């Protein structure tokens, strides 16, 4: 392995991600793992130079204080406990360490080397993928978004023709999205690509379902069923590749943190999953995923494309999905993306999209009363997707977008702009 590693054990801290990124900023790779990791699992990780037991306000779970397995203290590498007074180790801190203290632990005590970079990360992950997969085959859920695209490129580098990519058009894609996926991966990257049009299947399963959490679980479960069917056709598929990243895991809920929403690739997976998962990006944040994609040689247009949730427009068509509102989301989103590109905002704003709620309001069209839907625009900036701020979009740009949506999208008579940061809102609007 090219990289040394510091392992962070989650014992209730709300700052695990902050600590992980601080360590990476020092040039040392870090991973966050659950508090109940076993000694065998810890030994299975490569080049671990030190362990941080990161306690905090959520250390009480189900009425009991959580602890690490006692045998971990005999693992043989330095251990630092933060805000966890019952830890059985020599080094303890009451709160997050200052920069000098953190450097001392990482470099002097643990003797870790500053060898964390994307080139080394990719080489390590390629080796781990080869060790995990061997001569078996992998089926990759390829949405065409940044995360799954980067995983596809990494798997192609690691196992080549042992990879088969499956793009499922669930009918909830952005305008021309599926066509773009086929063009890039099949025609340009020459990947083994299977295209499945499952529009009617998914929309049928989602009929009458308004709860966004239920939508995510239905979509996630149905994705897996489609992949299982394709795997049976191919034979010899033992692994499922996914573009899971760390914010997906956090928002889906951990043993010490409550769920915000289930991501289809985490909380939406069926209990009887028949595949072993291959998730080489699951410890990365979005900005790191983009850097990884560039290092792998993916075009910037793909790496910096707009983030798109696995459940697609299904979570942006609020309430029970109807085809007229789904089309309104798709068309208004296309207008928003086109006008943001014209204004140069596509490279400035991290994520922007439209949503259409299920309720209507009174308006006036053609000198007559109308009762139509509204479109809500959301435009936010973030670094790691853990928090987000609102982009201050120029008024003239918003006016042009509004005029086009009202003129070109049927069944819409209002356009609104969402001013809510994360927290308390989430990045998505559902």
For the stretch 205-236, pLDDT in tens is 999 999 988 998 898 888 878 877 887 888 77
Q: Tell me which long-range contacts 333-339 makes (C-beta under 8 A, separation of at least 24).
A: 333/174, 333/175, 334/174, 334/175, 334/176, 335/401, 335/404, 335/405, 335/408, 335/409, 336/377, 336/401, 336/405, 337/174, 337/306, 339/397, 339/400, 339/401, 339/404
Q: Is residue 14 part of a domain?
A: yes
User: Do 79 and 165 fall into the same domain?
Assistant: no
User: Do 368 and 395 fall into the same domain?
Assistant: yes
Q: Is residue 423 part of a domain?
A: no
User: Do 369 and 224 fall into the same domain?
Assistant: no
Using the structure block, give the residue that is written with the tokens 């900005």. 287
Q: Is residue 181 part of a domain?
A: yes
Domain that holds residue 257: 118-303
Distance of alpha carbon 363 from its chain centroid, rounded? Answer: 38
pLDDT attached to residue 255? 56
- Residues with Cβ < 8 Å from 58, sequence gap 6 or more? 12, 13, 14, 256, 257
Least confident segment among 121-125, 202-206, 302-306, 319-323: 302-306
- Residue that is last in its domain, among 109, 126, 156: 109
Number of domains in the chain: 3
- Residue 263's pLDDT band (cuts 50, 70, 90): very low
Using the structure block, give the residue that is written with the tokens 């040039």. 27
pLDDT attached to residue 203? 95
pLDDT attached to residue 266? 46
Mean pLDDT of the region 50-73: 86
User: Do 298 and 358 fall into the same domain?
Assistant: no
User: Do 268 and 335 fall into the same domain?
Assistant: no
Distance of alpha carbon 151 from its chain centroid, rounded? Answer: 12
DSSP code of residue 358: S
- Residue 254's pLDDT band (cuts 50, 70, 90): low
pLDDT attached to residue 223? 83
d(CA 341, CA 153): 26
Mean pLDDT of the region 159-184: 89
Least confident segment among 2-6, 165-169, 400-404: 165-169
User: Do 21 and 100 fall into the same domain?
Assistant: yes
pTM of the predicted model as reported, rounded to 2 decimal places: 0.76
pLDDT of 97 over the 90 cut: yes
- Residue 65's pLDDT band (cuts 50, 70, 90): confident
Mean pLDDT of the region 257-264: 43
Mean pLDDT of the region 157-167: 92
User: Do 204 and 225 fall into the same domain?
Assistant: yes
Domain of residue 337, CATH code? 3.30.300.10
Percent of the chain with pLDDT over 90: 66
DSSP for 147-213, written as a single string: HHHHHHHHHHHHHGGGEEEEEEE-S-PPTTHHHHHIIIIIIIS---EEEEE-HHHHHHHHTT---HH
Nearest to 373 by CA among 308, 340, 309, 326: 326
User: Do 92 and 239 fall into the same domain?
Assistant: no
User: Do 254 and 131 fall into the same domain?
Assistant: yes
pLDDT attached to residue 106? 98
């Amino acid at each position: 392995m090219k990289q040394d590693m510091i392992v962070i054990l989650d014992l209730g801290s709300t700052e695990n991600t902050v600590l992980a990124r601080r360590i990476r900023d020092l040039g040392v790779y870090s991973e966050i793992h659950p508090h109940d990791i076993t000694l065998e699992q810890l030994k299975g990780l490569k080049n671990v130079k030190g362990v941080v037991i990161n306690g905090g306000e959520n250390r009480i779970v189900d009425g009991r204080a959580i602890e690490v397995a006692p045998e971990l203290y005999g693992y043989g590498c330095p251990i630092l406990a933060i805000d966890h007074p019952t830890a059985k180790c020599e080094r303890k801190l009451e709160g997050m360490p200052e920069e000098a203290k953190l450097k001392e632990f990482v470099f002097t005590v643990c003797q870790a080397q500053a060898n964390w970079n994307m080139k080394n990360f990719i080489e390590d992950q390629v080796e781990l993928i080869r060790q995990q997969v061997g001569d078996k085959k992998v089926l990759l859920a390829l949405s065409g978004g940044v995360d799954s695209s980067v995983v596809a490129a990494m798997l192609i580098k690691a196992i080549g023709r042992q990879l088969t990519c499956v793009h499922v058009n669930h009918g909830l894609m952005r305008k021309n999205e599926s066509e773009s996926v086929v063009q890039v991966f099949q025609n340009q990257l020459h990947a083994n690509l299977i295209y499945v049009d499952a529009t009617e299947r998914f929309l049928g399963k989602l009929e009458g379902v308004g709860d966004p959490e239920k939508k995510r679980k239905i979509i996630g479960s149905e994705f897996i069923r489609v992949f299982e069917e394709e795997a049976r056709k191919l034979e010899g598929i033992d692994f499922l590749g996914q573009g899971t990243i760390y914010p997906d895991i956090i928002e889906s809920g951990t043993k010490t943190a409550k769920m915000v929403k289930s991501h289809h690739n985490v909380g939406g997976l069926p209990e009887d999953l028949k595949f072993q998962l291959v998730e080489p990006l699951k410890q990365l944040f979005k900005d790191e995923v983009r850097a990884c994609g560039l290092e792998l040689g993916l075009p910037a247009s793909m790496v910096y494309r707009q983030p798109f949730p696995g459940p697609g427009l299904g979570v942006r068509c609020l309430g029970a999905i109807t085809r007229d509102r789904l089309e309104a989301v798709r068309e208004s989103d296309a207008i928003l993306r086109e006008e943001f590109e014209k204004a140069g905002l596509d490279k400035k704003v991290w994520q922007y999209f439209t949503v259409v709620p299920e309720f209507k309001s009174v308006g006036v069209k053609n000198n007559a009363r109308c009762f139509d839907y509204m479109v809500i625009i959301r435009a936010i900036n973030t670094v790691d997707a853990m928090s987000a701020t609102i982009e201050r979009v120029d008024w003239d740009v918003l006016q042009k977008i509004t005029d086009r949506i009202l003129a070109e999208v049927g069944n819409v008579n209002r356009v609104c702009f969402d001013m809510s940061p994360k927290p308390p809102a989430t990045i998505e609007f559902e």
